[in-house]
């Protein structure tokens, strides 16, 4: 990882007290160039990114940068990189007022969700952003996304940060990161937060929705959780899914938790083989979480006959959690060594505003 100083910003800091922002670069389209031979997009050197946005020097904050030594396309994202990002924030937590993480949009919602669980009692802004077009492209969306993210991370009230949670900023909207999903691979408006209101909107004015902001316990110190357990599975139900396929997944060695994306309000087939395979899996101590494959709305087990049995056999309700948050919450909680009896209650509790 590379750490670099911005001397113009240091001069600004000497003149008056302005927020210190750490810009963490992990990769993604925002800093990519086209390979002249193959035409594919690949990550390039972070220093070029700063050269391409001279406007950053005009912002009323002190910006320092920290970069992954080998920036990645976020499709190569792994929990070990989530730990790298968490450590970059932990190591610099006291020296900075806010953090902006540049990240590919493909898995940005997963990383944002994971960081929300890993950074317990976070009391400063961590804003994830990226872009659909590289920063060098004439029609790029990168400049607005980056500049406004830095401004959002710099927002203060009597010298204290206004935003105290992990957010995602994209195309004029600030969202709670663990409520987002990438919904479009082409539009600049690539993300949505269907079960939670926007935290802020950028127009002529930057309007913050104060009522929707997360209010952490101000007396607690930042606690960084780095143990994540990847022994999980994610299954999306479809009409015709076979017993053979499910038995194969459920007999994966070391499996500790399974998320099932069911239909609508948490419904599934009532076939005996399906219910008994879930029952057997739970008996083996494997947690099963029910989330909906709809983009919006919530699981309500027991509302229909087709979900009543799930409730009876002890399936965990993911309520209105996104798939991205469900995955990272499961990895995080499995890393916490919670007793099996408590697991269901804790998973069903909103820990970082990820469920209603
Ligand atoms: N494939 C890219 C990535 O996620 C897409 C993007 O940055 O928008 O890294």
pLDDT at 114 > cutoff 60:
yes
Catalytic site positions: 29
How many A from CA of 309 to the centre of ligand 1?
40
Task: Tell me if 111 CB under 6 Å of ligand 1.
Answer: no
pLDDT at 307 > cutoff 90:
no
Residue 190 CA: nearest ligand 1 atom is: 8
Task: Tell me if 104 CB under 6 Å of ligand 1.
Answer: yes
**Domains (range + CATH), the chain:** 2-224 (3.40.50.1170), 232-347 (3.40.50.40)
How many A from CA of 73 to the centre of ligand 1?
6
Structure confidence by residue, pLDDT tens digits, 223-262: 999 999 999 999 999 999 999 999 999 999 999 999 999 9
User: For a substitution probing ligand 1, which of 43, 75, 137 has the most ligand atoms within 8 Å of its CB?
Assistant: 75
User: For a substitution probing ligand 1, which of 25, 27, 28 has the most ligand atoms within 8 Å of its CB?
Assistant: 28
Contact 305, 273 (CB under 8 A): no
pLDDT of residue 343: 97
pLDDT of residue 168: 98
The stretches of the chain forming alpha helices (DSSP H) are 7-15, 46-52, 79-91, 108-118, 142-154, 243-250, 272-283, 305-312, 323-334, 340-347
Count Cβ atoms within 10 A of the Cβ of residue 113 and give its class: 0-12 exposed, 13-18 middle, 19 or more buried. buried
């Amino acid at each position: 990882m590379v750490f670099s100083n911005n001397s113009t910003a240091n001069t600004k800091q000497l003149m008056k007290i302005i927020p210190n922002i750490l810009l963490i670069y992990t990769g993604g389209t925002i800093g990519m160039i086209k390979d002249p031979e193959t035409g594919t997009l690949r990550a390039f050197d972070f220093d070029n990114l700063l050269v391409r946005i001279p406007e950053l020097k005009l912002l009323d904050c002190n910006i320092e940068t920290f970069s992954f030594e080998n920036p990645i396309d976020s499709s190569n994202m792994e929990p070990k990189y989530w730990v790298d990002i968490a450590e970059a924030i932990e190591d610099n937590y006291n020296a900075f007022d806010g953090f902006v993480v540049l990240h590919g949009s493909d898995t940005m919602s997963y990383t944002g969700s994971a960081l929300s669980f890993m950074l317990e009692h976070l009391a400063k802004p961590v804003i994830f952003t990226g872009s659909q077009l590289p920063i060098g492209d004439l029609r790029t969306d990168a400049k607005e996304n980056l500049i406004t993210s830095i401004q959002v991370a710099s927002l203060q009230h009597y010298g204290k940060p206004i935003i105290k949670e992990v957010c995602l900023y994209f195309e004029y909207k600030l969202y709670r990161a663990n409520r987002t999903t990438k919904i479009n691979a082409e539009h600049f408006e690539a993300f949505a937060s269907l079960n939670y209101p926007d935290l802020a909107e950028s127009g002529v004015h930057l309007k913050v929705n104060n009522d929707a902001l997360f209010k952490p316990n101000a007396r607690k110190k930042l606690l960084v959780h780095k143990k994540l357990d990847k022994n999980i599975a994610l299954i999306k139900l479809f009409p015709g899914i076979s017993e053979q396929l499910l038995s194969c997944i459920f007999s994966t060695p070391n499996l500790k938790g399974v998320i099932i994306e069911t239909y609508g309000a948490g419904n599934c087939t009532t076939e005996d083989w399906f219910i008994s395979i879930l029952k057997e899996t739970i008996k083996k101590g494997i947690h099963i979480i029910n989330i909906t494959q709809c983009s919006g709305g919530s699981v309500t087990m027991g509302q229909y006959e087709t979900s009543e049995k799930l409730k009876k056999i002890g399936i965990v309700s993911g309520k209105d959690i996104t798939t991205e948050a469900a995955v990272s919450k499961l990895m995080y909680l499995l890393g916490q060594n919670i007793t099996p009896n408590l697991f269901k209650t804790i998973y069903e509790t909103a820990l970082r505003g990820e469920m209603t």
